[in-house]
Every structure is written in structure tokens, then in C-alpha cells.
Structure 1
């Protein structure tokens, strides 16, 4: 699955869609600002939390961080564990705020 742009995500949210969004930034970063409806699972804890997300394996999951690097790692980890529809938010939270 291709990654998602901040504009595409905001458009979908404006249409009332509630995609599954996982914020892989650290907790303190999430506390400074977050995307509505996102779930915070810091990248360092994601390997231990993958089993908690099993029921989402076939659903679209959007991962994001501050700029896109950590979420690219998170996407790779989830895909490696059998998740089929993981999309990275291009440019991360910084780009989302500006969109």
C-alpha cells in the first residue's frame, strides 16, 4: 500500500472517516500535540505491543512520527509481522500541522 499525504488524511477526516492512526513518537511529543483519534505507541515499545494489534492486521493502519523516519521503521516492523495495509504519513506530524 502506498503512503498517505497529510492532505489526503485531513480530507478523509473532514469527510468523517476515522482511520486507525498510530503515533510512534515518544509520549512527551504526543502530549505536546496530536492527531485527533490517534493512539500513541512509541516506536521503542512497538515490538512488545504488536500482539495487541493482531485484530487490525487486515485493516488500514496509518503510522506517523514527527517527520516520517521513525514511522517508516514502524511500518516496516508491522509489515514484517503480517500487517497488510500499513501507510506512513508522509512528512509526519510536522507536515500534518502545516497541511
Structure 2
């Protein structure tokens, strides 16, 4: 599974590169903050809502610490999507980008 470090993703965002992020955390977790522009699809809904995603786009997937997003990456990759897990999840994002 491909992974990207949070600081690398933040750098891509700052250069106006198209960055599609899927946040697979639960509602109450996302309410505490998310990566700007991230699309919220809880892990338990990913297969039911896969039609909301463009199979020609590249996606970065995040959760709290990297476990659920890793599972989401496996599910999406099996369906033909090009995905990368954000290493360390939101815990690492907050540490690296603040």
C-alpha cells in the first residue's frame, strides 16, 4: 500500500496541486476538525458510497491514526481506485502541519 507523510501532502496542497482527500473517521471525530477540502465518508459506508468517487481521480485517505484509512485503501484499490494512505492519520497531520 502506498503511503504519504502528512507534511508531503500539506506541501502538495500549498502548491495548488489537485489533492482529493477522503476522511473515513466517524462524524464525531470529523466534527473536531479535518483536512481542508476532505470528503467525509465513514469507513463503514465506503462500499455503499463508492459511486460518489471518480474512478479517474487519485485519492489520499485519512483516519485518526492510519489503521482505518489503510483498510479503506485496500477496499478502494480492490475496486480499481488509485489511492494512498496518509501515514499516521490526523494525529500526525496535526503534529506536522501546525
The aligned counterpart of 1:92 is 89
> Residue 76 of structure 1: CA displacement?
0.3
RMSD: 1.2
Gaps of 5+ in 1: none
Question: TM-score, normalized by length of structure 1?
Answer: 0.91
Structure (1/2) with the larger strand percentage = 2
Provide the rounded CA distance (Å) in 2 between the counterparts of 1:52 and 1:6. 24
Provide the rounded CA distance (Å) in 2 between the counterparts of 1:7 and 1:38. 16
Question: TM-score, normalized by length of structure 2?
Answer: 0.92
Total equivalences in the alignment: 96
Provide the rounded CA distance (Å) in 2 between the counterparts of 1:63 and 1:93. 10
List aligned pairs for 1:52-71, cutoff 5 A: 52-53=52-53, 56-71=54-69
Structure (1/2) with the larger helix percentage = 1
Structure 1 segments, 4+ long, off by >6 Å, are: none
